[in-house]
């Protein structure tokens, strides 16, 4: 009988000790006031990663284009792009270059929405879902010229090689449907034989190019360096005051770039500059730092078009002359 009481007593002590340990374990697992309990599948964040946009409620960081970080405000249902602060005033152009406007943006990334954005962020346009692949092979521009010097008329086309079309319903420069992607210049004979092709994106820094979807624009030709070969321009959006143009030529050796990053007061996809003599042409652009239109002569010398010192002009007009 004494042995039975001893066994019961020892069992009771062990049970009490077990309940005490279980209570301590529950206290260690319970969250302290003001802290969140860890959940399966979540990643611990160190203090140095807190405080950024990703740690704020309703904000999600994503990538919608190359080099473009977007902070999506899920609470407001509207994407915003980080601007990184206001840009300082641009420096005056040197004697051999046109001034670049401070507001110049990458084509297709200009804020066009009329709704105010959150502080420190610039509103992005609301785009309809992109239609990938369907625009490849689309001809956006073309013109007629003797591309190989045989005295017969050939066709030069600007054609999309890869990309997509996007539609922006917001009023502004990119309202409507545009083609975004990579493009090339292709020269063909009248019977469809290919003479040469040239990747255009590299002449514009390698980034995405944008053209409006619709009837192909007309390539405008001239001979600015008087070598008997047709020259032409292709432009991309450079801001509200003009486009950036690349000047190309075509001959038996194929396409060649004669000049690039020509900022001009014009928004047409291809323009013809006003020639000033046999070996030079006149460019007009708007200098925002001076608040005036400027004229600069580009003269052919030693195999390149060198820009002379710009001068302010009173007559206001487009850089390209009417076809």
Convert the pLDDT of each residue in 96-121 to its tens digit: 445 545 444 444 444 333 334 444 44
Given a cut of 80, whether residue 67 has pLDDT beyond it is no
Determine which of 55-64, 201-210, 231-240 has the lowest per-residue pLDDT on average: 55-64
Out of 272, 289, 315, pick the residue that ends a domain.
272
DSSP state of 53: G
Out of 100, 124, 148, pick the residue that ends a domain.
124
Residue 20 lies in a domain: no
Please, what is the average pLDDT of the chain?
Answer: 72
Percent of the chain with pLDDT over 90: 55
Both 78 and 154 in a single domain? no
C-beta of residue 200 within 8 angstroms of C-beta of residue 270: no
Both 67 and 176 in a single domain? no
Q: What whole-number distance in Å separates Cα of residue 254 and Cα of residue 210?
A: 24
Q: What whole-number distance in Å separates Cα of residue 188 and Cα of residue 155?
A: 5
Give the pLDDT confidence of 245-292 residue by residue, as tens digits. 999 999 999 999 999 999 999 999 999 999 998 899 999 999 999 999
pLDDT in the model for residue 127: 53
Both 72 and 147 in a single domain? no
Region 221-228 average pLDDT = 97
Segments in the chain forming alpha helices (H): 2-29
C-beta of residue 43 within 8 angstroms of C-beta of residue 53: no
Both 75 and 202 in a single domain? no
Both 63 and 150 in a single domain? no
Strand, coil or helix: what is 204?
helix
Both 140 and 80 in a single domain? no
Residue 125 structure tokens? 């346009």
Both 153 and 68 in a single domain? no
Q: How confident is the model at residue 323 (pLDDT cuts 50, 70, 90)?
A: confident
DSSP state of 83: -
Residue 265 lies in a domain: yes
Residue 283 lies in a domain: no
Residue 286 lies in a domain: no
pLDDT in the model for residue 102: 45
Given a cut of 60, whether residue 167 has pLDDT beyond it is yes
Straight-line distance from the first to the last Cα atom of the chain, in angstroms, rounded to the nearest whole number: 120
Residue 251 lies in a domain: yes
Residue 100 lies in a domain: no
Q: Which domain holds residue 78?
A: 55-84+118-124
DSSP state of 89: P
Both 74 and 207 in a single domain? no
Residue 63 lies in a domain: yes
Q: How confident is the model at residue 136 (pLDDT cuts 50, 70, 90)?
A: confident
Q: Are strands 209-212 and 217-218 parallel, antiparallel or unpaired?
A: unpaired
Residue 201 phi/psi, 5-degree rounding, is -60, -35
Residue 297 lies in a domain: no
Both 80 and 177 in a single domain? no
pTM of the model: 0.63
Element (H, E) at 295: strand 292-301
Percent of the chain with pLDDT over 70: 58
- Give the DSSP per-residue string, 54-113: GGSTTEEEEEEETTEEEEEETTTTEEEEE--SPPPPPPPP-TTSPPPPTT---TT-S---
C-beta of residue 278 within 8 angstroms of C-beta of residue 68: no
pLDDT in the model for residue 132: 57
Which distant-in-sequence residues (6+ apart) come within 8 Å of 207 by Cβ? 66, 106, 107, 201
Region 166-174 average pLDDT = 93
If one counts the domains in the chain, the total is 2
Residue 262 phi/psi, 5-degree rounding, is -90, 110
Residue 270 structure tokens? 């291809």
Both 60 and 177 in a single domain? no
**Bridge partners (DSSP) listed for residue 72:** 60, 79
């Amino acid at each position: 009988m004494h042995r039975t009481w001893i066994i019961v007593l020892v069992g009771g002590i062990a049970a009490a000790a077990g309940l005490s340990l279980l209570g301590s374990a529950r206290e260690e697992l319970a969250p302290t006031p003001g802290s969140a309990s860890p959940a399966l599948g979540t990643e611990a964040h160190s203090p140095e990663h807190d405080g950024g946009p990703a740690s704020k409620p309703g904000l999600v960081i994503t990538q919608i284009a190359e080099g473009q970080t977007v902070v999506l405000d899920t609470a407001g249902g509207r994407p915003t792009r980080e601007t990184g602060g206001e840009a300082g005033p641009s420096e005056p152009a040197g004697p051999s270059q046109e001034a670049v406007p401070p507001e110049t943006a990458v084509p297709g990334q200009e804020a066009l929405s009329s709704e105010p954005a959150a502080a420190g962020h610039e509103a992005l346009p609301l785009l309809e879902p992109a239609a990938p692949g369907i625009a490849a092979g689309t001809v956006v521009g073309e013109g007629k010229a003797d591309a190989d010097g045989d005295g017969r008329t050939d066709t030069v086309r600007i054609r999309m090689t890869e990309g997509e079309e996007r539609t922006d319903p917001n009023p502004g420069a990119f309202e409507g449907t545009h083609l975004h992607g990579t493009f090339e210049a292709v020269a063909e004979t009248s019977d469809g034989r290919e003479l040469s092709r040239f990747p255009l994106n590299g002449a514009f820094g390698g980034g995405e190019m944008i053209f409006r979807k619709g009837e192909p624009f007309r390539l405008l030709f001239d001979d600015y360096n008087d070598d008997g070969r047709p020259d032409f321009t292709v432009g991309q959006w450079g801001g509200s005051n003009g486009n950036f143009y690349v000047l190309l030529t075509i001959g038996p050796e194929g396409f060649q770039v004669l000049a690039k990053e020509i900022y001009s007061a014009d928004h047409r996809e291809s323009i013809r500059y006003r020639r000033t003599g046999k070996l030079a042409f006149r460019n007009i652009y708007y200098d925002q730092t001076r608040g005036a239109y400027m004229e600069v002569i580009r003269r052919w010398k030693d195999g390149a078009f060198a820009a002379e010192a710009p001068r302010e002009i009173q007559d206001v007009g487009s850089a390209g002359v009417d076809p």
